[in-house]
Amino acid sequence: ICRIIFYSMKARLRSFGYAMNGIRLVFGKEPNMNIHLVFVVLVVVCGFIFHISITEWIVCALCFGLVISLEMVNSALERLVNMVSPERQPQAGAIKDIAAGAVLVAAICAAIVGLVIFVPKGLAVLGL
């Protein structure tokens, strides 16, 4: 039993290492991911400045996770399509466009959430 548990834990740690490597492959190397990270930092800074509520932090964190996760899936799909279909094909382009569109939809929704949370706080500071 101990050997089974040890093997299972070792396998989980190895999986975690692969996942961390996947994160490293995207962060800092994908231009769009860098843009998302700039917005994450801006939102976090604004969150501290405006003292957003726990619920607002949770919503922001969910938006961060959704956009960043979709950007990672988009990057993976782009690499896969490029590997499988190095020559230009309409279907390959459509796959990449659809994945990029998913990221855009999530980013727009996250921006709307950010506006709903921060615009009223900014207007209150300005006395409007």
Rounded Cα distance, 110 and 64, in Å: 8
CA pair distance 43, 94, nearest whole angstrom: 32
**78 tagged catalytic:** no
Spatial distance between the Cα atoms of 67 and 54, rounded to a whole number of angstroms: 20
Tokens 């094909």 sit on residue: 89
Of 56, 71, 78, 87, catalytic: 71
Q: Which residues contact 99 (CB under 8 A, 6 or more apart)?
A: 73, 74, 77, 78
Which residues 6+ apart lie within 8 Å of 128 measured at CB? none
- In the block, tokens 């991911």 appear at 33
What is the set of active-site residues?
71
